[in-house]
């Protein structure tokens, strides 16, 4: 079984997230999503609208996702890849090159982002509408 792993906050789920998850899943037979905890988001200077438990439930309901694990820090990726027998690590290409150290442990694939959508854009557009 070819196992794929990817990481993210996945807040205010949108089609860019779904496109990434679908393409990641298509690279193997099983997709593990390592989801940023609220505490790790604080380290990433991100404040998610949905708390971790809700973001986890939402991801687990997506047909491309087989398993959701917590992301606590920047340092856990090598252990995650080894402990979960991962064959392919996937991220959107805004991260291109940032995780090449994982090439010693698995394939590393950066996929083109979906243009024109992001959680930040959603928040900004909603704030503009309020005025
Ligand atoms: N993404 C995408 N297209 C978009 C928006 C996001 O392909 N329009 C991808 C990102 O490249 C990422 C995934 O969707 O692969 C999740 O995006 P975020 O939730 O913003 O993830 P991020 O905060 O970048 O967390 O350790 C890595 C971090 O946890 C990554």
Task: Place 128 in a pLDDT band, splitting at 50, 70 and 90.
Answer: confident
- pLDDT tens-place string over residues 12-25: 999 999 999 999 99
87-122 burial by CB neighbour count: b if 16+ within 10 A, else e?
Answer: bbbbbbeeeeeebeebeebbebebbebbeeebbeee
Residues recognised as catalytic: 44, 46
Q: What is the mean pLDDT of residues 82-98?
A: 98
Closest C-alpha to ligand 1, atom 26: 7
CA of 1 to the centre of ligand 1 (A): 25
pTM of the model: 0.97
Cα–Cα distance for residue pair 73/83, rounded to 1 Å: 16
CA of 54 to the centre of ligand 1 (A): 17
Task: Place 129 in a pLDDT band, splitting at 50, 70 and 90.
Answer: confident
- Residue 131, pLDDT > 80, answer no
- Residue 79, pLDDT > 80, answer yes
Cα Rg of the chain, angstroms: 15
Cα–Cα distance for residue pair 100/105, rounded to 1 Å: 10
- Residue 130, pLDDT > 90, answer no
DSSP assignment string, the chain: --EEEEEE---S--HHHHHHHHHHHTTSSEEEEEEEPHHHHHHTT---SS-HHHHHHHHHTSTT--EEEEE--STTHHHHHHHTT-SEEEEEGGGTTTTGGGGGTSEEEEEPPPTT--HHHHHHHHHHHH-
């Amino acid at each position: 079984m070819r196992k794929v792993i990817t990481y993210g906050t996945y807040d205010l789920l949108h089609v860019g997230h779904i496109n990434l998850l679908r393409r990641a899943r298509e690279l193997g037979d099983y997709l593990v999503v390592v989801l940023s905890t609220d505490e790790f988001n604080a380290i990433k200077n991100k404040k998610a609208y949905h708390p971790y438990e809700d973001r986890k439930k939402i991801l687990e309901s997506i047909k491309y996702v087989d398993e959701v694990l917590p992301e606590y820090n920047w340092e856990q990726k090598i252990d995650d890849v080894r402990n979960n027998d991962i064959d392919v690590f996937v991220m959107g290409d805004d991260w291109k090159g940032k995780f090449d150290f994982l090439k010693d442990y698995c394939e590393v694939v950066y996929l083109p982002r979906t243009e024109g959508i992001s959680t930040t854009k959603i928040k900004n557009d909603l704030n503009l509408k309020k005025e």
